Amino acid sequence: MTVERKVVVGLSDLKAIVFACRHAGCTARAVVSPNHSKVPEHCPGCGREWMRASTLGEIKVTSSTHVNFVEAIGKIRAQDAETGNEWPKFRVLLEFDEPK
């Protein structure tokens, strides 16, 4: 018998955005509010660069933030698979409360 469990949450359920360092040996994380989120430029633990300011010019913006969000998820997953997590040097984790 197979048991499958899924948790479906809305964006209003999001408690925090967590950026986890990918540099070898570093386990630092930066936690930001989803209401005031900004990608940290450097790791708070090892100080290494996480985000290049030059990459910000590559962002394509449409008139719909929802469309931008959904398209960005696919691009991030594809980039991670293609580059082997080489850049950026952080993982994005989404924090939610346990379902009741």
Tell me how far apart the alpha carbons of residues 97 and 99 are, in angstroms, rounded to a whole number. Answer: 6
Which residue, 2, 3, 29, is CA-closest to 16? 29
The amino acid at residue 98 is: E
Question: What digits encode the pLDDT tens for the residues 4-37?
Answer: 988 888 999 999 999 999 888 999 999 999 998 7
Question: Which residue ranges make up each domain of the chain?
Answer: 15-96
The SS3 call for residue 92 is strand
Question: What digits encode the pLDDT tens for the residues 38-49?
Answer: 888 899 999 998
pTM: predicted TM-score of the whole model, two decimal places: 0.77
* Tokens 């408690």 found at: 15
Instruction: Check: CB of residue 67 under 8 Å from CB of residue 48.
Output: no
